[in-house]
Amino acid sequence: MIFRRTIVWLAFAFLIPAGSAAWAHTPLMLCMDNGDNSITCQGGFSDGSSAGGVIMRIKSSDGRVLQEGQMDNNSEFTFMKPRGDFLVVFDAGPEHQLRVPGRQIGQ
């Protein structure tokens, strides 16, 4: 009985931290149309860390980079709304990228 409890405890001791680490740094982003032909995106991570310095790209429907910049110290990025279809890309590195189609950004 003690042996079984030890195995169960060890399984939880190794699985819980591994599972929580996978979710600890998930990128988050919300983009809003400001109503003045500009869009502001706010970003961050699920563990509460800042997105300041994260690379932001605005791409055309054919993949061309229209605008590029970085999130500021407040984890915000404001850009002029391009004509036609576009995609907002939050690029914090491999497996930490988000893509938001322009048509999904509302006022």
In this prediction, residues 64-84 reach a mean pLDDT of 97
Give yes or no for a contact between 77 and 43, defined as CB atoms under 8 angstroms apart.
yes
For the question of whether the overall pTM of this predicted structure is more than 0.85, the answer is no
Is residue 24 very low, low, confident or very high in pLDDT (cuts 50, 70, 90)?
low
Cβ burial 13-40 (10 Å sphere, 16+ → b, else e): eeeeeeeeeeeeeebebebeeeeeeebe
Class of domain 25-104: mainly beta
With bands split at pLDDT 50, 70 and 90, how would you rate the model's confidence at 107?
low
At residue 13, does pLDDT exceed 60? no
